[in-house]
Amino acid sequence: MKETKSDSGERDIPLIDQCFPFLSYYLTTLKKQYLFTSIKSGEWITQQSFKKMWESIIKKMNKKAVELEYDEFIDSLTPHIFRHNYATLLDKAGVPLKERQYLMGHASVVITMDTYTHPDTDNMKAPLLLDNYIKNTSNSLTPI
């Protein structure tokens, strides 16, 4: 187990209600009181064990991709991607920026927004908002 990079690295993170059934079940399977443990020993999971577990997950995902005849496969996915996903989901859910900054443990909202929060290009609101704005101000607009 490593120390956090900063004081903001140690914080309470709320769990959503949908997580509780899965987490409750998982906790009943543990030999000790640690959340991330080695299956064999029940002790803290080592970085090497975590790496092996992660590689196994990626391998299974790629195997499933072959079964489903997908064209793309995962080669460089790291667990860090979940931080980006979390920040983006918090944004889409409408969580205030300062709260997202706290939950992410960032010193600045700039890091939260510019590095971790990604726009949903499939559901951009700009065209609709711009269209509505132009419709509402069309009397004052003059063609060039």
The 3-state DSSP class for residue 85 equals helix
pTM of the model: 0.68
Q: In the numeric block, which tokens belong to residue 94?
A: 């409408």
pLDDT tens digit sequence for 36-59:
777 777 778 888 888 888 898 889
Q: What is the dihedral of CA 20, 25, 31, 36, to 10 degrees?
A: -50
Taking only the tens place, the pLDDT of each residue in 72-83 is 887 778 889 999
Helix (H, G, I), strand (E, B) or coil at 60: helix
Query: Which residue do the tokens 């020993």 mark?
Result: 41
Give the three-state DSSP class for 80.
Answer: coil
* C-alpha dihedral (120, 126, 132, 133), degrees to nearest 10: 150
